[in-house]
Amino acid sequence: MKKFLVALIISASLIGAVPAEVEAVEPYDVILQEVSRYGKTDKEISWIAMAILYAADQCSLDPMLITAVMETESAFNFNARAIGLMQLMPETARNIGVNPHNPLANVVGGAVYLKTQLNRFAGNGAYALTYAIAAYNAGPQAVINANGIPNYHETRNYVAKVISNYNRLRQNLVG
C-alpha cells in the first residue's frame, strides 16, 4: 500500500500535479472521512473502512476504487435496495460463492466481482476501467454487446459517478 502511495506522489510530482513536499494521507483516513459524510456511527465508519481495506488487500485492488463503487452503489448503507454495501445481486453472489447478507462477504464478494470485470476488460486499454465499472452495474454481457458502455441512462450516470468519486478519493490521498 505504501509503495502505491509513494508511486502516486512521485508520478504526480513529476507531472507537476502535486508539490514534492506534500505528504500522503493514509487510505484508511480518506475512507473514514468519506464514509463519515453519510451520518454513520463511529463503529460503522471504522468497520466499513477496515472491510474495504481487507477486500482491497485480498483482491489486489485500489481501496479508493472499492470505496467509490460502494459509495455509488449503496451510499455506505447496509440495507440499501439490493443486497448489502456492494449491492450484490443474488445470482452474482451465488456465482462468486458468497453470502451477500453477510456484510464482510458482501464487501469481499463485490471486490471479487469488480476484479473479475477489470480482468475481463483489461485488453481495452484506456477504456478498461470504465468498461469494468459499467459491467459491475449492467453486467458484462451488456458491455460486450454494446462494445463499450451500454446506452442505458442509469449505467452511463453510474460510470460517471464512480469515476468522479474515484478521482476525488485518489486526489485526497495526497492531501
CB hemisphere CA count around 107 (13 angstroms): 25
Which of 34, 44, 73, 154 is labelled catalytic?
A: 73
Between the alpha carbon of residue 42 and those of residues 27, 71, 73, 84, 171, the distances in Å are: 17, 17, 21, 19, 24
Q: Name the residue with cell 469515476.
A: 163
The three cell numbers locating residue 175:
492531501
Catalytic residue check, 73: yes
Instruction: Report residue 103 as a C-alpha cell.
Output: 456484510
- Return d(Cα 107, Cα 67) in angstroms, integer: 10
CA angle, residues 48, 121, 172, in degrees to nearest 5: 40
3-class DSSP state for residue 83?
A: strand
CA distance 96 to 40: 28
- Rounded to 5°, the CA angle 56-170-50 comes to 35
What residues are labeled active site? 73
